[in-house]
């Protein structure tokens, strides 16, 4: 058995109205001049209004500053620009609010706030002392990426024009606020896409062959929560119970994928970089094909996933358990409107070579439960095109 490490350290506040606790925690963390990082689309939402009211009410001479230009798939400028503002304004902490993109950008901006000369393309080649990064508070308004509990940021770098994972334990948030009231305004389509992202995290982390039984249990319970809560949140955005369960499930998916992920994410990442697809949507459109690919090579892989979905597959043959589970999830995604094709979202046959090249280079499939070749990637893209 190989050596592994278990870590679940993120301090998290959960429940309707949890945002009200923010001022007290800013005091606890010694943050008096926070930089708020988000995207332009969030500025008109009730979630952002709630944050501004909460920060405005904090008093005690606290000032706060705003960077609101994060792209849907964050680029290096979304890290460098808030880092520069952080230094210019004399900030002492970062609050990121929104989906995974602002959270990833805000998290990584602290690196360049400390070392503005850092070459992110050589992040792992030129190791630095990242201790003492400014405190980071994560407030998700979507239930999908789980970036709030992660120790990494996914950023498209200037030098490569490709997504890169910046990983370091010091990127971990000092506080996560999971307030379902902040997610009620999320439109049904985004609710579905972000929820499918969380579902994919749970499934791929569970089937990743790395030994981590605690993450396996968390992933399976995350699937159970999503199967119950996502359709309810999709139908009724004001269902706080469903919204809350989805926030927790998304965080659980991200905790679980410290095991790593698999082929579906390697298919999805280039679709965002090259074709601009929302990451959750890309995962949703590739999930069933990826599961069929893996099940054909390792029968019985999805039996416990099916049980987590509420299916009676315990006594089925291995192939039948997989078939029933995949059929259930195919219909589950269809009911959420996630049964379209890549071509419906602007992906064209002429993108195929570039997609395959980046998919092969993406690290996620290195921990897939079965090996994946360039030819396999091409076939999978064609299957969902």
**Dihedral of alpha carbons 48, 49, 52, 58, sign:** negative
pLDDT digits (tens, 9 = 90+) for 288-336: 999 999 999 999 999 999 999 999 999 999 999 999 999 999 999 999 9
pLDDT digits (tens, 9 = 90+) for 153-181: 989 898 888 888 888 999 999 999 999 99
Residue 292 CB neighbour total at 10 angstroms: 17
The two beta strands, 163-167 and 152-156, are: antiparallel
Q: Average of pLDDT values for 91-98?
A: 97
Q: State the pLDDT at residue 319.
A: 97
The CA–CA distances, whole Å, from 224 to 43, 166, 333 equal 33, 30, 15
pLDDT-derived band of residue 121, with 50, 70 and 90 as boundaries? Answer: confident
Q: Dig out the tokens for 150 from the structure.
A: 């992660």
Q: State the pLDDT at residue 23.
A: 93
Q: State the pLDDT at residue 165.
A: 85
pLDDT digits (tens, 9 = 90+) for 63-84: 899 999 999 889 999 999 999 9
- Mean pLDDT, the chain, whole residue set: 93
Report all structural domains of the chain as residue ranges with CATH numbers, in order of start: 12-183 (3.40.50.1970), 188-384 (1.20.1090.10)
Alpha-carbon distance of 311 to 185, in angstroms, equals: 32
Q: Which of 100, 163, 150, 155 is nearest to 260 (CA)?
A: 150
Alpha-carbon distance of 210 to 228, in angstroms, equals: 27
pLDDT-derived band of residue 59, with 50, 70 and 90 as boundaries? Answer: very low
Q: What is the pTM of this model?
A: 0.91
């Amino acid at each position: 058995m190989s050596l592994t490490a278990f870590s679940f350290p993120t301090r998290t506040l959960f429940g309707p109205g949890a945002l009200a606790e923010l001022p007290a925690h800013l005091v606890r963390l010694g943050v008096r001049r926070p930089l708020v990082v988000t995207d332009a689309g969030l500025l008109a939402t009730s979630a952002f209004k709630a944050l501004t009211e909460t920060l405005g009410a904090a008093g005690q001479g606290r000032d706060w500053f705003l960077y609101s230009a994060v792209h849907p798939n964050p680029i290096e400028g979304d890290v460098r620009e808030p880092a520069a503002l952080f230094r210019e304004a004399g900030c002492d902490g970062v609050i990121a609010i929104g989906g995974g993109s602002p959270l990833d950008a805000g998290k990584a901006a602290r690196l360049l706030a400390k070392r503005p000369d850092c070459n992110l393309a050589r992040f792992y080649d030129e190791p630095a002392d990242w201790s003492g990064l400014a405190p980071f508070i994560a407030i998700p308004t979507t239930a999908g990426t789980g970036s709030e509990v992660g120790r990494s940021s996914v950023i498209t770098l200037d030098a490569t024009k490709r997504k890169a994972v910046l990983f370091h334990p010091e990127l971990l948030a000092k506080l996560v606020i999971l307030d379902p009231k902040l997610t009620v305004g999320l439109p049904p389509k985004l609710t579905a896409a972000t929820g499918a992202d969380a579902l994919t995290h749970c499934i791929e982390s569970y089937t990743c062959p790395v030994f981590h039984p605690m993450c396996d249990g968390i992933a399976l319970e995350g699937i159970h929560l999503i199967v119950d809560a996502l359709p309810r949140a999709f139908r009724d955005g004001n269902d706080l119970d469903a919204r809350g369960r989805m926030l927790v499930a998304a965080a659980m998916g991200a905790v679980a994928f410290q095991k790593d992920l698999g082929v579906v994410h390697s298919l999805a990442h280039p679709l965002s970089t090259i074709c601009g697809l929302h990451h959750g949507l890309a995962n949703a459109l590739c999930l069933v094909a990826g599961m069929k690919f893996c099940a054909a090579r390792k029968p019985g892989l999805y039996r416990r996933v099916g049980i987590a979905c509420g299916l009676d597959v315990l006594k089925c043959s291995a192939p039948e358990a997989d078939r029933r589970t995949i059929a259930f999830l195919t219909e589950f995604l269809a009911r959420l409107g996630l049964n379209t094709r890549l071509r419906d979202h602007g992906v064209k046959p002429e993108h195929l070579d570039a997609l395959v090249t980046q998919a092969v280079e993406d690290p996620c499939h290195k921990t897939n439960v079965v090996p994946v070749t360039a030819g396999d990637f091409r076939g999978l893209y064609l299957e969902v095109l």
